[in-house]
Amino acid sequence: MTEAAEKKDVQKLQRVIVDALEDVKASNVAVFNTEHISSLFERVIIASGTSNRQTKALAANVRDQVRNHGFAKPRIEGEENGEWIIVDCGAAVAHIMQPNIREYYNLEEIWGEKPVRLKFGAPKPPAAEPKAVEKRAKGDKATKASAKTAKSAKAAKASASKDKAPAKKSVISESAKSKAPVKTTAAKTASTKSAKPIAAKSAPKPKAASAKAKASTAARKRSTPKA
């Protein structure tokens, strides 16, 4: 970013803070250029609020308006007490004080070497953040809608799978039952076929030698004389 652009941003930030203070009726608003004093910030803005309630409202409005115009979120200190609230906006720091506290600490003596002339009632810079907020809101709605559709699709798939699961089981069981008798009958026929040859092979055939031996023994018995 060029030096000219940085100065424009500082001036815009300064204008946003002053307008936010004016909206909540701050009194004795003063702006000081601190570029030559500190490298941490370039503007110090001092304003007064008559009560704790008003100082807190002033700080909250400065924070909201700075964010709405596209700047970083400011840091706030001293909001609990409300007597002296510091709103750190980066390049500019706003001190919102009650009159007696402002008079006692006298910050003008520290930072007031180069006061900045203010044009009260000047046209306010256009806010850039609301458009981004709307886009973010639309994006969030779209993401939520897509998440809902994804959940509904998952639920539909889950219900469809549950409906299909029993049908698959029944088909498998019926096919298994229909195939089971065929397998058993085939096994039985195979066992009977294999058993017959084994039985035929295991049965011994009559031998010719044994028949001859029986005939010879019978002839011997006949030939031997009785006593």
Q: May I ask the CATH architecture of the domain 3-127?
A: 2-Layer Sandwich (3.30)
What tens digit of pLDDT does each residue of 172-221 get? 444 444 444 444 444 444 444 444 444 444 444 544 445 555 555 655 55
pLDDT, position 133: 45
Q: Token match 């930030």: residue? A: 13
Q: Give pTM, 2 decimals.
A: 0.54
What tens digit of pLDDT does each residue of 85-122 get? 999 999 999 999 999 999 999 999 999 889 988 765 55
| Angstrom distance (rounded) from CA 146 to CA 66 | 33
Tell me if 48 sits within 8 A of 99, measured CB to CB.
yes
Q: Return phi, psi of residue 208, to 5°.
A: -70, -30
Res 7 pLDDT > 60: yes
Q: Which pLDDT band, with edges at 50, 70 and 90, does 75 fall under? A: very high
